Amino acid sequence: MTPQESAAAPEVAVAEDPVKVQNARVLALLHRLFGEATFTDVEEQYGLLSVTTTREHIHGVIAGLQQDQEIKLNFLTTMCGINYPEDEGKELGMIYHLHSLTQNIRLRLKIFFPVADPVVPTLTDLYNSANWMEREAYDFYGVIFTGHPNLIRILNVEDMDYHPMRKQYPLEDGTREDKTDLFFGR
């Protein structure tokens, strides 16, 4: 294009993806409220903003987001544990999904911590729905939530002595006699 042509060409507004704009707003809010250094690994996967922070900050971040009146991320959709046994010092993780019902914005927060010291602050003082979800994470991964009113196993039998969702443990029951691995291709 010659300079005259480009000058004469009409101003075409680049269509901004509304989801990207929204996520940029959320990220700006997070940085403003809690500082840029609190969040690492900022990603946007399939339209959902996902940030990683540390277990020292997570309670403050979620409490701050609950109080914030601009975006109102005050609905805890779900939380779950995850196990990456290869990441030294970050073997276990907790993943929180927040949702703003008034503005339809979702956010994913992740924290990672070592399996040798799986202690995380509880969110039961902020959200009542966190109670059982934390018990489930304790049951499955052995994550210990400080301040939880009743941290006992919820889905498995109470006298189970290992945390079954960790990658090191097998799916099948070790004591079964009738299904030999030979026939089942394992």
Partner 1 sequence: MMDTRVPEIKTVEAPEGVEGAGFFATSLEKVVGMARANSLWPLPFATSCCGIEFMATMGSHYDISRFGSERPSFSPRQADLLMVMGTIAKKMAPIVKQVYEQMAEPRWVLSMGACACSGGIFDSYSVLQGIDRIIPVDVYVPGCPPRPEQVIDGLMRVQDLARNESMRRRNAPEYQALLESYNIK
Partner 2 sequence: MAVNDALAGTHKIIEEAAAQRHGQLMPLLNDFSQELTTLNLGPTHPATHGIFQNILQMDGERIVSGVPTIGYIHRAFEKIAERRPFYQITTLTDRMNYCSSPINNLGWHMTVEKLLGVTVPKRAQYIRVIMMELARITDHLICNSILGVDTGAFTGFLYLFQEREKVYEIYEEVCGARLTTNMGRVGGMERDMSPVALDKLRAWLKSFPVVMREFESLFNRNRIFMDRVVNVGPISAEKALNYGFTGPNLRAAGVDYDVRAMNPYSSYEDFEFDIPVGTNGDTYDRFIVRNEEIWQSLRIITQALNNLPEGPYHADAPHYYLPTKPDVYKNMEALIYHFKIVMGEIDAPVGEVYHSVEGGNGELGFYLVSDGGRTPYRLHFRRPCFIYYQAYPEMAVGTTLSDAIVILSSMNVIAGELDA
131 is a contact residue toward partner 2 (CB under 8 A)? yes
Which one, 35 or 102, has the nearer CB to partner 2? 102
Which one, 37 or 171, has the nearer CB to partner 2? 171
Q: Which partner in partner 2, partner 1, none is near 97 (CB below 5 to 8 A by kind)? A: partner 2
Give which of 20, 94, 31, 41 is closest to 64, Cα–Cα. Answer: 31
Q: Which partner in partner 1, partner 2, none is near 129 (CB below 5 to 8 A by kind)? A: partner 2
76 is a contact residue toward partner 2 (CB under 8 A)? yes
Q: Which partner in partner 1, partner 2, none is near 123 (CB below 5 to 8 A by kind)? A: none
185 is a contact residue toward partner 1 (CB under 8 A)? no
| CA 151, 152, 154, 160 torsion-angle sign | positive
- How many Å apart are CA 20 and CA 12, to the nearest integer? 19
Report helix, strand or coil for 56: helix
Q: Which partner in partner 1, partner 2, none is near 181 (CB below 5 to 8 A by kind)? A: none
Contact criterion met (CB below 8 Å) for 121 and 111: no
Contact criterion met (CB below 8 Å) for 55 and 119: yes
Q: 46: exposed, middle or buried (C-beta count within 10 Å: 0-12, 13-18, 19+)?
A: exposed
Q: Which partner in partner 2, partner 1, none is near 8 (CB below 5 to 8 A by kind)? A: none
Report helix, strand or coil for 99: strand
Contact criterion met (CB below 8 Å) for 30 and 41: no
Binding string, 12-51, against partner 2, x = CB under 8 A? ---------------------------------xx-x-x-
Scanning residues 125 to 164, which ones bind partner 1 (CB under 8 A)?
Answer: 155-157, 164
Binds partner 1 by CB under 8 A, chosen from 116, 176, 183, 185: 176
